[in-house]
Amino acid sequence: MPIHHADHSYIECLVNEFKKAIMLYKDSNQGGAAAPWVLFVCEDDERNICDQKMIEVQLQRKHGISSMRKTM
């Protein structure tokens, strides 16, 4: 039996919620001309990059939503 079982279903939930939020925003602004982007604002010495990267990749792959990372 493995010591740690990685369940990343929460990543899928987060990605879907990002998508919903973007769609709500676009609907409230009559569609908006620009393609949506998600900005991840991180600290210089961020250590939680793995989970954040998984969200970024899934947003791009599943929904075509680009993202970028910027430090404070």
Q: Which residues pair with 71 in a beta bridge?
A: 42
Q: Which domain holds residue 29?
A: 9-71
Q: Which helix H or strand E contains 39, and what residues bound it?
A: strand 37-42
Has residue 62 been placed in a domain? yes
Q: For the segment 11-31, what is each residue's pLDDT rounded down to a tens digit?
A: 889 999 999 998 888 877 765
The share of the chain scoring above pLDDT 70, in percent, equals 83
1: confidence class by pLDDT, cuts 50, 70, 90: very low
Taking the CA of residue 20 as centre, how many other CA atoms within 13 Å lie in the half-sphere pointing to its CB?
A: 6
Residue 22 sits in a domain whose CATH number is: 3.40.50.1760
Domain count, the chain: 1
- Distance (Å, whole) CA 64 – CA 67: 10
Q: Which residues pair with 48 in a beta bridge?
A: none
Q: What is the dihedral of CA 15, 20, 24, 30, to 10 degrees?
A: 80
Has residue 2 been placed in a domain? no
**40 or 48: which leads in pLDDT:** 40
